[in-house]
């Protein structure tokens, strides 16, 4: 069987997207999803998303890690699937969709060669704070550690050690490292499911910005990642409750094609 696919990236976090409104691919077929994401034998991506019908919403987002397993929320993936829906003509300048972590809103600004998407994330509560780290769920679980500098810092080794420590080995966690700069913060991320450092992680950037905001009493950050720049704004109710969270940045269609499965 042949299926049409699209490749998108958001600050280097790349995804295979499939319009699955007619159920052309089974979400239970992890073997096919893993194959499509494989960088040597498939299309190659950090993850795969299915755009599906959802009553009362513009669409449903289903996200799968490159290991083939259905995953928790992906912020950059959310921005890319909104851009995908825009290019398909499903939405215009606004979107309201459902994902594994609940309802999301989005705003689209067409910049020509890319689409800027502002994605509203779920509210965050139950934040764990220690001297040198924070832990929270921004749609996906994130451990955030502050470091002096990213220069010569080994995100992969340090991130893997935390992700597979006694506390997180079974369920896993994403691990983010944050350093401050003149414009805002720099963030690097080790992602579970991908089991590697990625160029960017949307939910990780959100968790990092919130942690930095609690440290610095700020509600807006420009964030530099390996794959480019993002923005995050939010409202701090108190040290345990954050609301009105928006992740803002570009989403770019890389190419499209047809593949056999």
The strand pairing partners of 3, in sequence order, are: 259
Q: How far apart are CA 182 and CA 249, in angstroms?
A: 20
Contacts 24+ apart (CB under 8 A), 112-115: 113/252, 114/83, 114/250, 114/251, 114/252, 115/82, 115/83, 115/86, 115/87, 115/250, 115/251, 115/252
Cβ-contact 18, 3 below 8 angstroms: yes
Q: How far apart are CA 240 and CA 179, in angstroms?
A: 22
* Greatest CA separation for the chain: 54
Catalytic residue among 37, 80, 201, 229: 201
Told to judge if 74 belongs to the known catalytic residues of this protein, a careful annotator would answer yes
Active-site residue numbers? 74, 201
């Amino acid at each position: 069987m042949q299926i049409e696919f699209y490749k998108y990236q958001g600050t280097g976090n790349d995804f295979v997207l499939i319009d699955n409104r007619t159920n052309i691919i089974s979400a239970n077929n992890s073997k096919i999803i893993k194959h499509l994401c494989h960088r040597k034998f498939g299309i190659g991506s950090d993850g795969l998303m299915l755009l599906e019908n959802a009553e009362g919403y513009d669409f449903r987002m289903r996200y799968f890690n490159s290991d083939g397993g259905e995953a928790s929320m992906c912020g950059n993936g959310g921005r890319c699937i909104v851009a995908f829906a825009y290019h398909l003509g499903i939405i215009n300048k606004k979107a309201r969709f459902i994902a594994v972590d609940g309802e999301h809103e989005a705003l689209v600004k067409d910049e020509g060669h890319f689409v800027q998407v502002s994605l509203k994330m779920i509210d965050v509560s139950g934040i764990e704070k220690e001297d040198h780290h924070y832990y929270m769920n921004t749609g996906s679980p994130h451990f955030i550690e502050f470091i002096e500098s990213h220069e010569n810092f080994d995100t992969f080794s340090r991130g893997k050690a935390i992700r597979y420590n006694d506390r997180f080995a079974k369920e896993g966690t994403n691990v983010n490292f944050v350093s401050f700069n003149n414009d805002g913060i720099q963030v690097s991320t080790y992602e579970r499911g991908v089991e590697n450092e990625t160029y960017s992680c949307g939910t990780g950037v959100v968790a990092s910005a919130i942690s930095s905001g609690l440290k610095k009493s700020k509600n807006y950050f420009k964030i530099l990642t390996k794959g480019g720049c993002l923005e995050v704004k939010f409202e701090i109710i108190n040290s345990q409750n954050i609301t009105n969270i928006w992740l803002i940045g570009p989403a770019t269609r890389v190419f499209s094609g047809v593949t056999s499965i």
